[in-house]
Amino acid sequence: MKRVITFLCALASISAVAQNNGGIDQAMMAQIRTGYKNTPSERAVKNALATTSIATLAVNGDNLAMCDTHFSDRVKTVGITDQKSSGRCWLFTGLNVLRAKMIVSHDLKGFEFSQNYLSFYDLLEKSNLFLQGVIDTRKLPLDDRKVEWLLKNPIGDGGQFTGVSNLIMKYGVVPKSAMPETYQSDNTRNMRMILSLKLRQYALALREAKSGELKALKTQMLTEIYGILVKCLGVPPTDFEWTRYNKKGEKVSTQRYTPKSFYEQFVGQDLEKNYVMLMNDPTREYGKVYEIDYDRHIYDGENWLYINLPIERIKEIAIASIKDNTAMYFSCDVGKFFDRKKGVLDIANLDYESLFDTTFPMDKRQRIQTFASGSSHAMTLIAVDIDQNGKTTKWMVENSWGPASGYKGNVIMTDEWFDQYMFRLVAERKYVPADILKMLDQKPILLPAWDPMFAPEQ
């Protein structure tokens, strides 16, 4: 007993020394306090911050004017969509790329695919992905990193392009009129909470079940999930009637379709083979192919797989696509230096350095390494402005926050902002140079599901 007490006392002594060496002692606090001089200018900033947001006070008064909205090259698009209070930017963006092609190809005045239809199957497939992941890891302890990641992330409505391609190729598409939005599809927070709670409950049951019971038990669980989704989102149609009108408003045809026959007739691309996913991630080696474990929407679908490239190579591909009137899936760190009212992403929008009399010198690589930046939102890249010397000056994306947001529903970004906060681009293979396509022959480097660069885009 005496030895135990002596040992505990020794540990307490070591802990006390460590705390004294690493903590804020009185001498250090005295030195820290001298940093604030309480000058008139510092008091003025402190007084302003007491009643006004940092974002408002950091506005750069020299950059208030709206930027030039002319673009040398622009994809023809019609209409702006609105994801409302949901995390479905990835789905709206993917469907907006296809919508632009369909409107031009079939001489339509306007058109919108049903996002709700694919949302239904996305949530059902993600439920299965989670449940099967639980089955696959059921022999591992609860504190295993992969098991812990699964339980922390049972389901969400965020995602990325492979979700678009896998879901469409499996389930097809329908017009918005065939399955319109509901309150729950527009406002997904509570629905996600209910689904997450059920899936975590199911996870414990699957981990305790006998091997021979797992498939039947999972089917029963998915049946209940299906019922919840029907109540929230409606019944996805297996066939429907749709009347096609041309740009003049004249009736062209009225036919019955299945979701797959509709896709085959009006779009017809093999999305899983026709598109290449690109990334600008300076924390990893360029010219390599990377794959993210569990970063998919369908259990037997594709993980997110991308080629990591310097930003100039990505711009080369983006320009080729825009010049050929083809929009692209694009994602970035949209919250940085964003003037929402103007709809402009520009590093000069906000001057945090002057407001706080400090510097923020980290580059793109360092921001990624320290979790200060990462891809957060997907939009549709539709325009670029190239000056007379061949230099790109700005870009524009079609957003999914409604026509009243930003610049007529769009967001304009300076070329400098593009360099610093753009992360992902999905382009058709025909716009990707042969030397880059050749990189796909590599064996992908597998990254874990919890890699910080691969949180779902919302």
Look at residue 386 and give its three-state secondary structure: strand
Taking only the tens place, the pLDDT of each residue in 242-295 is 999 999 999 999 999 999 999 999 999 999 999 999 999 999 999 999 999 989
Q: Where are the alpha helices (DSSP H) in 242-300?
A: 259-266, 271-274
- Given pLDDT bands bounded at 50, 70 and 90, which one contains residue 453? confident
How high does pLDDT run on average in the chain? 94
Residue 337: C-alpha distances to residues 67, 191, 403, 416, 445 (Å): 14, 32, 21, 12, 33
Residue 338 counted as domain residue: yes
Q: Which of 405, 407, 412, 408 is nearest to 382 (CA)?
A: 412
- Let me know if residue 2 belongs to a domain: no
Q: Is 28 part of any domain?
A: no
Amino acid code (one letter) for 132:
Q
Name the active-site residue from 96, 280, 349, 399.
Answer: 399
pLDDT at 409 over 70: yes
| 426-441 per-position pLDDT tens digit | 999 999 999 999 999 9
Give 318-360 pLDDT, tens digit per residue.
Answer: 999 999 999 999 999 999 999 999 999 999 999 999 999 999 9
Q: Which domain holds residue 404?
A: 73-454
* Cα separation, 60 vs 80, whole angstroms: 29
Is 402 inside any structural domain?
Answer: yes
The pLDDT tens digits of the residues spanning 121-161 come to 999 999 999 999 999 999 999 999 999 999 999 999 999 99
How do strand 344-345 and strand 377-386 relate by DSSP bridges? unpaired
* Block residue for tokens 């696509």: 321
User: Residue 177: which of 116, 228, 222, 225 has the closest Cα?
Assistant: 116
Give the pairing type, strands 377-386 and 392-398.
antiparallel
> Does 36 fall in a domain?
no
What's the number of domains the chain is made of?
1
**pLDDT at site 455:** 74
Per the residue annotation, which of 96, 116, 166, 377 is the catalytic one?
377
**47 flagged as catalytic:** no
Q: Considering the entire predicted model, what is its pTM?
A: 0.93
Cβ-proximal residues to 264 (8 Å cutoff; 6+ apart), any chain: 172
Q: Is 67 a catalytic residue?
A: no
Q: Which residues pair with 175 in a beta bridge?
A: 113
- The pLDDT of residue 15: 52
* CATH number, position 160: 3.90.70.10
Quick one: pLDDT at residue 389?
96
Residue 7 in any domain: the answer is: no
| 399 assigned to active site | yes
* Structure confidence at residue 20 as a pLDDT band (50, 70, 90): low
The answer on pLDDT for 303 being more than 60 is yes
Split at pLDDT 50, 70, 90, the class of 4 is very low
Cβ pair 140, 128 in contact under 8 A: no
pLDDT of 224 > 80? The answer is yes
DSSP state, 256?
E
In-domain check, residue 142: yes
Q: What does the pLDDT read at residue 451?
A: 85
3-state helix, strand, coil in the chain (%, to 5): 45, 15, 35
CA-to-CA distance for 144 and 206, rounded, in angstroms? 16
Give the pLDDT of residue 283: 96
Q: Which of 67, 89, 232, 332 is catalytic?
A: 89
Closest to 301 measured CA to CA, from 91, 113, 451, 161? 161
Whether 153 is in a domain gets the answer: yes
Q: What is the pLDDT of residue 21?
A: 83
